[in-house]
Amino acid sequence: MTSSSNDNKLQFTTDDKSEKTLIFNLEQQKMRLGLLGKLFGSKETASTNIAGTVLLILVLTIPVLCFFPAKVAPLDYINIIVPIIGPIIGYFFGKDS
């Protein structure tokens, strides 16, 4: 299998049926995922990816509130989000057990 530099279409250089089947299955899986699936992953990983995204957004907003004027004081915001961050981290560590 080779890929052309001009476009993203795959070109098969062999008649290997298993390689074609694998590519076909991957393309079908991409179609089944949909827009949210492309953003957060498959059913098996979506919950972890969503929790990670929420955690990242919450943590990244702390420095933004410290350096830019906001209606909420940074210390008050931290007191609000710490009870949310704790269970998310607990979810990450407890997910596999």
Encode pLDDT of 19-78 as tens digits: 778 777 777 776 676 777 777 777 777 888 888 899 999 999 988 888 888 888 888 989
Beta strands in the chain (DSSP E): 2-3, 10-11
pLDDT at 57: 93
Containing H/E element for 40?
helix 17-40
pTM listed for this prediction: 0.60
Instruction: Evaluate if residue 1 carries a pLDDT over 70.
Output: no
Location of structure tokens 């991409």: 30
What sign has the CA pseudo-torsion 46, 51, 52, 57? positive
In this predicted structure, which of 3-7, 8-12, 69-73, 76-80 has the lowest mean pLDDT? 3-7
3-state class (DSSP) for residue 13:
coil
Cα distance between residue 26 and residue 1, in whole Å: 15
